[in-house]
Chains A and B, each alone.
Chain A
Amino acid sequence: MRRSPGQVALAAAIALFLLLFLFVPVATVVYVAFTDRAGGLTLVNFLDFARTELFVRSFWNSVYVSAMTVLWSSAFALPLAYLTTRFEFRGAMLVQTLGFLPLIMPPFVGAVAMQLLFGRNGTVNLLLDEHLGFKIGLMEGLNGVIFLQAIHYFPFILVNLSAALRNIDRSMEEAAQNLGSHGLRLFRRIALPLAMPGYVAGASLVFVKVFDDIASPLLLNVKEMLAPQAYLRITSIGIDDPMGYVISVVLIGVAVLTMWASAQVLKGKDYATTQRGGGGLARRKLRPREAVLAYAIVILILMLVLAPHLGLLLLSLATVWSFSPLPDAYTLAHYARVLGDSSLYIKNTLLYSGLAALIDVAIGGAIAYLVLRTKLPGRQALDWAASAALAVPGVVLGIGYLRAFYGVKLPDGTPLAALWIVIVLAIAVRRLPYALRACYAALQQISVSLEEAAENLGATKARTVRRIVIPLMTGGLLAGFITSFATAAVELSAVLMLVQNNSDAPLAYGLYVLMQTPAGRGAGAALGVIAVIIVALCMALSQLAADRSQRARGLEM
């Protein structure tokens, strides 16, 4: 395909965006990693990293935890995705929405709720101890981190895999069935391989996210992993040392490497199909016994992954909950307390995450298009650059924004970094990789011949994109929007550095403030429940809208 000036301009605009809002701010912080005490350039800090037993141990711990999490997340996600897309499954949409909820776990309260349920003296262990005389260390050490992370991040795989399964050309499956294949073999040989782009997109996200996650390990007091090490060093006072930034550079390196590796896995295979619209796998009816089994599996998985939210709900209604399987008594006082504040927080959260997710889908979709459909030199770099954002710790980005933009004054003297739009940009940059992966997977499954046909009929490139590519990508774009939106709604680390004004604060910040006090625990949980409900509602609505439009188009065909 030719290089059009429009494509070049698009690529340049995206590059400029990434440069301004990702690379410059991060560089102002991370360059320290490459300097010695006299200020000269050096690599000695990386040597120190390799020689420090703690860091090496942390590195391998992180690799182990990330890999195991991918495994467990797949175990949770595969049955849910397969059963809801492949069969006539009542409540499929409910399962899809509920299965997404774990991703929206509000910071801090989620942690407390998990401890109260699964911790050393949580509900499960207190009951076990009382009746059976033993406890299980679900939340202990690295295994605890894997347990938490798998519950928290499996929706990445669920969403992307489900989108991919829905996009598979039915004729492929029918061809296989005509040749005598069915059941598990059909799934293993046809559906799963064809859905690979979605699975790989989800799995690579889970791997990188877990590798770079700070919150979950720290809530379990596991500090001997790489990302927590970076966070602890960067945010500790009086320690102006480069190691925190060295670790950040390593994290970014691992993220880029993972994305590269996942591209290699899919390379040389063609996943595109031409049949679109109301496509997807044929939905089979479940036989009664199969149905019982299927519902049992789905309900079991949902119960496990939604337990934290149940804990959160209990916590928000509890008076005192301490060293007992259930709260002492229940009250609605916490909701009354947060109701006044929360409308402002909610408005800000919806505004920020909505805008951020729109930016993400626009840029993510554009990058996916440039990489997969054009021959622009350096297009791959855009992909990797955007993915690198995944690995930049939120506080590094936050400090970087302050450094880069606080000196820039508006005409009336207020610093640029004090405007709420800066918070939106920071969130958008941090969530861009989610949308990008989803868009990328969606476009990978669309046959280029459809676009060629349009162009042969005289459509311009822009018109082809607007009338063919974007409508066909709706599912992927939506998956990207939802993932970015929902996770942006509970983003904290960068926000915490950038919020300058209570009236500009999003929910996560309000929650953080509440969760610093004993009396604020219930109120924080109440705010958390409100956040989850609102985000879930928004998701369900957008899902509904997308389903409806897809069905409408399906009928036309």
Chain B
Amino acid sequence: MFRRSLVTLAALLASTAAFAQSGKVTVVTSFSKDVTDPLKKAFEKAVPGAVLEVQNRNTNAGVKFLEETRSNNQVDLFWASAPDAFEVLKAKKLLAAYKPKATGIAEKVGSYPVNDKDGFYVGFAASGYGIMWNERYVKANKLPTPKEWQDLAQAPYFDHVSISAPSRSGTTHLTIETVLQGEGWAKGWRTTKEISGNLRQVTDRSFGVPEAVNSGQVGYGIVIDFFAFSSQGAGFPVKFVYPSVTTLVPANIGIVANAPNEAGAEAFVEYLLSPAGQEALLEPTIRRLPVRPETYAKAPADYPNPFKDKNLQGLLTFNAETSEGRTAVVDTLFDQLITFQLEPLKAATKTLHEVDAALAKKPNAQASALAKEARDLIAAMPVTDAQAASPELRAAFTGGKEKGARQAELEQQWAAFAKDNYAKAKAKADEALKLAR
């Protein structure tokens, strides 16, 4: 009742004078200047009197900022890619519900619902995850062109791949989660670790990956699509591919609870969803996939269209709740098993690549068996799917009062588990290599 009357009131306000006199609208966003500047200009032109004040913070810092300043909130909108971050904000009651009035917006993009089912945030553009690479680098090093995630685990890619840590980048977290949901917990981690054995670096910023690929410091990067598209837009010699296990996830905007300028915030959301706002997404420096199907008619040739393209149909349904429930566990597992154990993991992987090469020349059953054992050791996980979502483990990361292990204790256990397994795997791989040669 109350909410409905609020919505009506808001609609009334938005449709009358409030629209014309929006004043200052403050938005915290992880989007770069290249994205925000054109939209800011267009919005201020479309809504006279409105001034969009953009505060650029990365997703995590933005969430932390809203949390720290909630006692005296000065921010109207939160605007970022990762739906996870919005789930966190929603759970902390930092968002206000709002139902947009714009029509003609797709219900789903890929197989992901565009809007939050509880109405706390709305999708305005879609993005998918994939692999980008530097053509000059690939040519100079005579490297292959990848199609699937699994390709990156092959021998030629060793030491040429880059990813950002999922604990540091909302988008990478979604990529890992997509693989885990698409292939299942055990198989998904196996794939992740096999790719990770080929990593050159794990960066601590999402943008660190396209930056390294663009400047040719690494060959391949696991990135969100618009990093690749906007790099192409800026003239860098890079290419991008969507693997078949990917998901299209909407980039979102949500109105902050107790926003000082609610009417202005709503006006901006409506603008983003309007035909003009959606068309702005096609600009070379922005390159997001609009959620308004008709907008694609104005897109340049080769522009991916999730409503038409075959390879973007029937993708995996990404479950944001599953993801949110185990975010901290997945991130910490990645850090402890991969980021901080990268050297031993790479050492074992390198030897296994050599074993494969030797076996291709001269098959040897015993060596193959040893190599398989080594791979299983690398793939082994200290916790199961069910444990990862259990309240005990969650409590360790959220500072809950329940009894259980402290986060630091878990991390020590997991790190020790990984170190031990990788050392054993390396020993087995060495043995296999001796036999195979």
A residues lining the B interface (CB < 8 Å): 37-38, 44-45, 48-49, 51-54, 112, 115-116, 119-122, 218, 221, 223-224, 228, 232, 235-241, 243, 319-324, 399, 402-403, 406-407, 409, 413-415, 417-418, 496-497, 499-502, 509, 512-521
Contacts and interface: CB of A to CB of B under 8 A. Distances in A.
Nearest to A218: B204
Interface of B: 32-35, 53-57, 59-61, 63-65, 68-69, 71-72, 74, 85, 88, 134, 136-137, 140, 165, 167-168, 201-204, 207-208, 210-212, 214-217, 227, 230-231, 233-237, 285, 327-328, 331-332, 339-340, 397-401, 406-409, 411-412, 415-416, 419
Contacts, number: 186
Nearest to B404: A37
5 closest A-B pairs by beta carbon, nearest first, are A323-B216, A48-B408, A517-B32, A518-B231, A519-B234
Contact of A322 (B35, B134, B401, B416): B134
Nearest to A219: B208
Contacts of A409: 72
Given A218-B204, A223-B204, A121 B71 contact: no
A513 B217 contact: no
Nearest to A121: B216
Contacts of B398: 238, 240
Contacts of B68: 399, 402-403, 406
B61 A496 contact: yes
A238 B53 contact: no
A372 B65 CA distance: 42
Contacts of B65: 402, 497
A496 B399 CA distance: 26
A71 B328 CA distance: 41
A121 B328 contact: no
Given A236-B167, A517-B207, A520-B33, 14 more contacts: A48-B412, A236-B60, A238-B331, A239-B167, A239-B397, A324-B136, A403-B68, A500-B74, A509-B56, A514-B33, A517-B33, A518-B210, A519-B230, A521-B234
B134 A516 contact: no
A239 B328 contact: yes
Given A496-B57, A518-B233, A241 B33 contact: no
Contacts of A51: 412
Contacts of A319: 235
A315 to B, nearest CB: 9
B33 A237 contact: no
Contact of A221 (B57, B64, B201, B415): B201
Contact of B407 (A122, A241, A402, A501): A241
A238 B325 CA distance: 11
Nearest to A234: B64
A518 B230 contact: yes
A517 B34 contact: yes
Nearest to B59: A237
Contacts of A502: 53-55
Contacts of A509: 56
**Which of B33, B231, B331 is packed against the most chain A CB atoms within 10 Å?**
B33
A406 B216 contact: no
A235 B60 contact: yes
Contacts of B285: 517, 519
25 contacts: A53-B419, A112-B211, A115-B212, A223-B339, A232-B168, A232-B204, A235-B168, A237-B327, A238-B328, A239-B397, A241-B399, A320-B236, A322-B134, A322-B214, A323-B237, A417-B69, A496-B57, A499-B55, A501-B53, A501-B55, A502-B55, A516-B33, A516-B56, A517-B230, A518-B210
